[in-house]
Amino acid sequence: MKYKFDFSKQPGRKLNVTEYEGKYKPRISIIMPFYNDKEYIEQSVRCVLNQTFPMFELIIVDDGSKDKESLKLLAEVEKWDERITVYHKKNEGLSATRDYGARKSSPSSEYLFFYDSDDLIDNTYLECAYWTLQTNKDASWAYADSVGFGSQEYTWRIYYIPENLEKENTLVATALIRKKDFFEVNGYELREKAVNEDWNFWLKMIGKGKFPVKMSYYAFWYRRKGNSGELSKANKNKNRTKEIIKETKKEIINRKRAIQYPRYNYNWDLIEDSFDDVEQPIESKNNKINLLYIIPWMVMGGADKFNVDFINGLDRDKFNITIITTEPEEYVYRQLYNDVDIYDLTSFIDIKYWIPFINYLIKKKNINLIMNSNSETGYSFLPYLKANYPEIPIVDYIHMEEWYNRNGGYSRDSSSVASVIDLTMTCNENSVKILNKHFNRNNKELKTVYIGVDENKYNPSLYDKEQIKKELNIDKDKLIISYICRIADQKRPLLLIEIISEFIKKNSDSLFLIVGDGPLLDKMKEKAKKYKLKDNIRFIGRYNDTAKIYAISDITINCSIKEGLALTSYESVSMGVPVISSDVGGQKELINKDVGVIVDCLQEEKDVGVFVYSKEEVNSYVKGLEKIKNNLNKYKSKCRKRILEGFTISQMQKNMNKILIDIAKNPNKEKIQNGKNLKKCIDVTKELIVKEYVQIRPKYEHLCNLFLKNYEFGIFSDTEMLKIRLWESPIYRTTVRFLKKIGIFGLGKKILKKNKHDD
């Protein structure tokens, strides 16, 4: 079961206006048409006032409303903020209203943002769109992935291909547009109503050789109103729309490709510190700790779940939080964060601009504490950030050391820049010992903070075991053993098949539930088929509500070659389910003799990709499973008590609040001096970042391709992806144009005809 987008988590439900030092001239003019729309405008305007970018004006254009209550409400809304201005005019329709608003925009604004009075936007939309256009000077507009809500619910993510746009309207009207480009095509122009005026406008832009930047995150919420919405009205005028579009398409000759994120295009550019000629907004000072939290992504996993619990558990009376992410991904956990400004750098800005953007954020938000967790790129930033801001303390959190990954993984990354880190936290004592003994870290700068589990959610008394078994069609008389994880090398899923094959020889009444997906899932299924385990294995796939799986389980098994302290172990024990686990990381710090069995790991980490396992290790698991099975009630009776003794999320959150407050108030003086010393060799810290950017290319491009493959509307094959990547290459397009020009065997012409590109 994949993560389901939560359509109830709409932006703008409450007002969160940030105060700034000084006044700023508008760089963006937001044009909001209004017509008798008293039901939705307040939430739409709250979305504007909640924007993290303060340099805007909101121009609301009343298109001849007759409803007195709507007009009264509009007058009240105008008083909410001095940046709001309301104009009234006779009724002419959307195109005329938008053009009218554009003509009323401030001379200082460089961009226009068309935004209807019933739609919603994420709080970072304007800021991300602004910076993507500031750093992509040739692009004419910027837009984001969208969410449909209301009478229909869906997420909308389509790769921008101009030829497809000529056939079907796949864009929305809400986008940030360069004002000069808007007026160059004479705006919307159309004075007819309900004829897909936004579609016609984008085709006019394309006809003038203009192209967009597509940001890859869900930032725009498009309200669907059934038969009363503008889209439905336009669909009723299909014939007239076709006539208009047909005429506009005649002007299209020079089709240009869009800039689409995520993308990798770094080329050894020197690192800049700041953006040129851009006014720096500064938030008003507060007495809070303004935390900048750097993480790689927001996918579904133990470390990512920790990030959500940790951030949501910080005391908001004492903390303001800003998150940046550094690796391309789907970010399914983004919605789970509460009251946090999130900037997925990969979704809107090129790598070479990451450092100036981070500097911009640090100054804007008065950042006074920096924390990094599991971001390899983030670690490369830390020496530079400490050199630039020596007074800001830096902390990090490590989940485990991985000897098969850069001979230590994030533990090595952390230790390599230990001179600028005030405190390193880990999820288990074993990692503290390794950091101290293997990486020579100072024990005074290390601390264990257990991740913990939500003991209220993972409470067996909340679940009807028999009902869940019925839902999943599971025999109620079976012994249920669950295996919940990402099916990857580290978790050794193929070892599990060996264990199952041996265990069922004497325990044929057992059923193993395999919950999760990953790169080794197909191999796991093949091996299970080979061993004829059909009656003893059920592949559930990714399942969001894992508490239900624990509720029907008798035992959980973890045969990983590496762990920190597995989240599944916390959850299982909290649900009263004993665990059998390999003796890796800090597993035995939680799983003692009362709540499970620890088994020696007999495979070396360097052999993680070798899928051959010793009979001795397989038999150790079989014996451990039988031991728990034969004493099941005894183990189950002590599990939940073990969690409540010191492994709950609330205890973790309490500890983290205390630690971070203490660090912020008492930064390490030695680290401050180290930062000042680094300032003398700032170029060295920049070069560390440059080398990191170059080094991550294979991984980054791989993640970009995975992201591209998972577009919701039209999954791309490898061949199609190659064609898309080729057509994004200026060298390839120039070569094709040259072949066409010189007419070598008609090759260039044939290629262009086949691909329907002519740019």
- pLDDT by residue (tens digit) across 596-638? 999 999 999 989 999 999 999 999 999 999 999 999 999 999 9
* 58 pLDDT higher than 70: yes
Unique residue bearing structure tokens 């497809």: 164
CATH superfamily of 289-452+653-695: Glycogen Phosphorylase B; (3.40.50.2000)
Nearest-CA neighbor of 281 among 53, 124, 57? 53
Residue 161 makes CB contacts below 8 A (sequence gap 6+) with none
Give pLDDT tens digits for 72-92: 999 999 999 999 999 999 999
pLDDT (0 to 100) of residue 758: 36
* 129 pLDDT higher than 90: yes
Give pLDDT tens digits for 682-707: 999 999 999 999 999 999 999 999 89
pLDDT (0 to 100) of residue 196: 87
Task: Check if 28-260 and 289-452+653-695 are the same fold.
Answer: no
* 2 pLDDT higher than 70: no
Give pLDDT tens digits for 397-448: 999 888 878 888 999 999 999 999 999 999 999 999 999 999 999 999 999 9
pLDDT (0 to 100) of residue 756: 41
Amino acid residing at 381: F
- Contacts by 225-230, CB closer than 8 A, 24 or more apart: 225/118, 225/150, 225/151, 226/150, 226/151, 229/151, 230/94, 230/116, 230/194
Describe the chain by its helix, strand, coil percentages, rounded to 5: 45, 15, 40
Residue 499 makes CB contacts below 8 A (sequence gap 6+) with 557, 559, 618, 621, 622, 625
Nearest-CA neighbor of 199 among 227, 237, 226, 150? 237
5-19, 156-170, 483-497, 507-521: range with lowest mean pLDDT: 156-170
A 10 A CB-CB count for 396 gives 25
- Which secondary structure element, helix H or strand E, spans residue 84, and what is its range? strand 84-89
Q: What is the DSSP letter of 394?
A: E
Cβ(117)–Cβ(221) under 8 Å? Answer: no
Nearest-CA neighbor of 483 among 592, 585, 583, 625? 625
Bridge partners of 156, per DSSP, are 146
* 227 pLDDT higher than 90: no
Q: Out of 3.90.550.10, 1.10.1200.10, 3.40.50.720, 1.10.10.10, select the CATH number for domain 28-260.
A: 3.90.550.10
Q: pLDDT category, 749, cuts 50, 70, 90?
A: very low
What is the chain's mean pLDDT, rounded? 92
Give pLDDT tens digits for 637-664: 999 999 999 999 999 999 999 999 999 9
pLDDT (0 to 100) of residue 226: 78
Say whether domain 460-647 belongs to CATH 3.40.50.300. no
* 1 pLDDT higher than 80: no
Cα distance between residue 425 and residue 228, in whole Å: 55
pLDDT (0 to 100) of residue 89: 97
Cβ(435)–Cβ(418) under 8 Å? Answer: no
Q: pLDDT category, 449, cuts 50, 70, 90?
A: very high
Q: Which two tokens stand for residue 289?
A: 């700790």
pLDDT (0 to 100) of residue 732: 63
Give pLDDT tens digits for 161-197: 998 898 888 899 999 999 999 999 999 998 887 778 9
- Contacts by 339-344, CB closer than 8 A, 24 or more apart: 339/16, 340/311, 341/52, 341/123, 341/124, 341/365, 342/124, 343/124, 343/128, 344/216, 344/217
> Which sequence spans correspond to the domains of the chain?
28-260, 289-452+653-695, 460-647, 729-759
